[in-house]
Structure 1
């Protein structure tokens, strides 16, 4: 899939990770060195191996961190170390991304390279903003221009008066810092001030915004609405067919921002579902899940695994870690023995069903109390050996009820440990402090306590959105209130789907 000692000039697309090509993703997962620009999505960069070297060579107007010659030298030197190098560029490498300069340098140095196309920003931003670029009655040509080049040079290349006659569409990249000059040149070139225009900022991302107006109003409207780079400017008759609301922006949580606080490995499903509803999602893992250190206890329990009549699982974390240890100890699923399985909720149960193991009991409401009551109601606990698989911070109420009401003989097996994660290590930490959010989602008392512990590091800057605290259930809410944090939303039935539905009801 990838070759050592070679440079891959890869298009990262416009921002949405789902628009990255399969070829690009495969190379990111294998590369030794990633050389990237500012406009590449951090989530995409997270697809690399843990030992991959990341080098940020992004340029900001007026503050270039690396010259183009220096960037080319990095690519050449790393490839000559027999490393697989990915040069990740926003959009498509061949559209205003200096790919030709890097190709020439690699050719001159005798370094092999390959081009991996990406979705260019103009096409994707137009699609995500519902802006047609062509129409057989309103415009049959499309021109790509850049606002970073010298404007006089560009005016010599493009006959704007002729363009006005043709009636095509202009797509202007990187033009926000010179918007007033660009508009002035276009008007002097013969375009009408009534020509339809659209600016799309942060296109294809949950924070996408746009301005629709005439060319003559473009500078004023863009300033009034506070649109900023990165942005693409569209001008032409076909652009005028765009509607104010489109498929991407017409989602129930579009424009809203939420913080997910579970460990990095657990955030995936909730983050994905929120994004599918249009939300902007920040990851601030407040806890981390670690394997248990009590290996002696694990060995003792697994030595007598066939003696238990019930195995009770209080979390998806416990289920995953238990099965990881199980398959390390046993090669055959039949070694699971005659144990009946009970799980606190459907998310936990689904982990066993994926291995074709029957889950006999899931309470209607996912709490320790309800799980205990449902087990007692089976009339199967009297003097029965029961294994409760949990973490190091689980409540004792489940074990107490099984022993006192069910008269069971209970062994506890904590297979994982929950610890606080340093929030300052989160990639979205600075953005949260600067921009805030509409809501912070607390899935457990552990996430709430970690938030309280690190509250000084999470103070918001002036002007940031102040979030409400969203709780998965009564115990989490109790922890929040005990620490003087108001609860803005509490689930009656814990679950990811239930949380998404509650957020849509409150914010949609």
Structure 2
């Protein structure tokens, strides 16, 4: 067993499952969610006319739809454009045809690429999102003349965080699963500084989370090859194996 503790900051059943798998492998873990996801389904009926595509920037949206058990047959789009492989994998699990662009890392750049795909006539899109999502993506596409409906399927709220739970560990692996989680972490200046210490190995789940960590000047130790639980386990164990 390694001396370092692994902080699993993903909330809900997925976070608990990751903790169990790490414990089975003999690792010391603490489950300390940074954000909580609150489903807004099935509070409203989903009625869409036929659309050309869904636009998706959050893996949490796919998980909420899956957990709600919605029948998507009547509203299934021809294509689902996603930001990042973590989001793409989550929407593929809903049996949707998913497309990503290697150079797209945020909503703004996705809007530009999607607009380039449909530059000859106005199209209809659904932006599948959380309540706190930035609105650059739909706003830009509307400026290009497209119709964008918003399907808000979840909300995120900061979890109750006790900084001392983290600060008492000078050697740790910190897993982070979303840009929102990075924002919560960095809202506590002592935690942001703690994450920058040499003894803290930071492992983000996907590249959009990596980008937010870089913006906060927090070094990343390793990132999974693909945004799957199996690859996340490999990345965590790689971080644990690094000698100080």
TM-score of the superposed pair, with normalisation by structure 2: 0.70
- Structure 1 residue 341 corresponds to structure 2 residue 80: yes
Q: Are 1:477 and 1:490, in contact at CA under 8 Å, matched by a contact in 2?
A: no
The aligned residue for residue 474 of structure 1 is 211
The aligned residue for residue 127 of structure 2 is 388
The aligned residue for residue 52 of structure 1 is none
> Partners of 2:127 and 2:184 in 1: how far apart?
25
- Structure 1 residue 281 corresponds to structure 2 residue 14: no
Q: Are 2:82 and 2:88, in contact at CA under 8 Å, matched by a contact in 1?
A: yes
Match of 2:7 among 259, 262, 287: 259
The aligned residue for residue 361 of structure 1 is 99
**What is the CA-CA distance between 1:310 and the residue it aligns to?**
1.0
> Partners of 1:492 and 1:333 in 2: how far apart?
30
- Structure 1 residue 315 corresponds to structure 2 residue 62: no
User: Kindly tell me: are residues 491 and 459 of structure 1, through their superposed partners in 2, closer, same or farther at Cα, counting changes over 3 Å?
Assistant: closer
**What is the CA-CA distance between 1:500 and the residue it aligns to?**
4.5
Q: Are 1:439 and 1:470, in contact at CA under 8 Å, matched by a contact in 2?
A: yes
SS in 2 for 1:386: strand
The runs of 5 or more residues in structure 1 that have no matched partner are 1-205, 207-253
Per-residue CA deviations over 1:125-161 (Å, capped at 9, x if unaligned) read xxxxxxxxxxxxxxxxxxxxxxxxxxxxxxxxxxxxx
The aligned residue for residue 423 of structure 1 is 161
> Partners of 1:394 and 1:507 in 2: how far apart?
36
- Structure 1 residue 412 corresponds to structure 2 residue 150: yes
> Partners of 1:273 and 1:382 in 2: how far apart?
49
Equivalent runs, 1:101-500 vs 2, <5 Å: 206=1, 254-268=2-16, 270-271=18-19, 279-292=27-40, 295=43, 298-299=44-45, 302-303=46-47, 305-324=48-67, 327=70, 333-355=72-94, 357-364=95-102, 367-369=105-107, 371-379=110-118, 382-404=121-143, 407-424=145-162, 432-454=166-188, 466-471=199-204, 472-478=209-215, 480-481=216-217, 486-489=218-221, 495=227, 497=231, 500=234
> Partners of 1:506 and 1:448 in 2: how far apart?
21
Q: Are 1:365 and 1:494, in contact at CA under 8 Å, matched by a contact in 2?
A: no
The aligned residue for residue 504 of structure 1 is 238
> Partners of 1:506 and 1:337 in 2: how far apart?
42
User: Kindly tell me: are residues 380 and 487 of structure 1, through their superposed partners in 2, closer, same or farther at Cα, counting changes over 3 Å?
Assistant: same
> Partners of 2:101 and 2:110 in 1: how far apart?
5
**Highest Rg: 1 or 2?**
1
Q: Are 2:127 and 2:150, in contact at CA under 8 Å, matched by a contact in 1?
A: yes
TM-score of the superposed pair, with normalisation by structure 1: 0.38
> Partners of 1:434 and 1:367 in 2: how far apart?
34
Per-residue CA deviations over 1:386-439 (Å, capped at 9, x if unaligned) read 0011112223333244334x5421122221111111124xxxx87645444323
User: Kindly tell me: are residues 375 and 502 of structure 1, through their superposed partners in 2, closer, same or farther at Cα, counting changes over 3 Å?
Assistant: farther
**What is the CA-CA distance between 1:384 and the residue it aligns to?**
0.8
SS in 2 for 1:389: strand
Q: Are 2:166 and 2:191, in contact at CA under 8 Å, matched by a contact in 1?
A: no
Moved more, 440-449 or 410-419: 440-449
Question: RMSD of the alignment, in Å?
Answer: 4.1
SS in 1 for 2:12: coil
Structure with larger RCO (C-alpha < 8 A, sep 6+):
2
Q: Are 2:88 and 2:98, in contact at CA under 8 Å, matched by a contact in 1?
A: no
**What is the CA-CA distance between 1:289 and the residue it aligns to?**
0.5
The runs of 5 or more residues in structure 2 that have no matched partner are none
**What is the CA-CA distance between 1:286 and the residue it aligns to?**
0.9
**What is the CA-CA distance between 1:282 and the residue it aligns to?**
2.1
**What is the CA-CA distance between 1:259 and the residue it aligns to?**
1.5
